[in-house]
Copies of this chain bind each other. A is one copy, B any other.
Amino acid sequence: MAFMIAQRAFIKLYLITMVEEHRGYGYEMLENMKERFKSFGYSPPQSEIYRALHELVHEGVFYRTKQLKGNDPKVDFQEIVIYHFTDDGREKAKLYKKQVKTDLDRCIGMLTKAEADNYN
């Protein structure tokens, strides 16, 4: 058993939730996470977001489509990659989230214990 939850798993958890909510593409999700954790002084590195996305694709949870960001190609040629659940991806994701939940609880327990054990 590992010590703490890995950053990778933590990010995957958020990515899955964001895809559930149809927030689509990498860069946007990166900015979203940065904003959420700004007050914690944590800024997920860009590379980790993409690695996590690639892994989820590789694991058969997501598949990718490409589209232009703007609806009118004349206006914006920026191509973005959108992620969607595969047929059994939703089920896989559900299971994954369940496992992560267990791990989150375990980590919170250990950290709380450490505070109790080491500070008055």
Interface flag for A5 (CB, 8 Å): yes
Q: Which of A23-31, A78-86, A107-115 interfaces with chain B?
A: A107-115
Closest to A41 in B: B1
User: Which residues does A use to contact B, with CB under 8 Å?
Assistant: 1, 3-5, 7, 10, 13-14, 16-17, 36-37, 40-44, 97, 100-101, 104-115, 117-119
Number of copies of this chain that the complex holds: 2
Provide the residues of chain B in CB contact with A107, threshold 8 Å.
4, 107, 111
Q: Find out whether the CB atom of A10 lies under 8 angstroms from the CB atom of B114.
A: yes
9 A-B pairs in the complex with CB atoms less than 8 angstroms apart: A1-B41, A1-B42, A3-B44, A10-B114, A37-B110, A40-B110, A105-B115, A107-B111, A108-B112
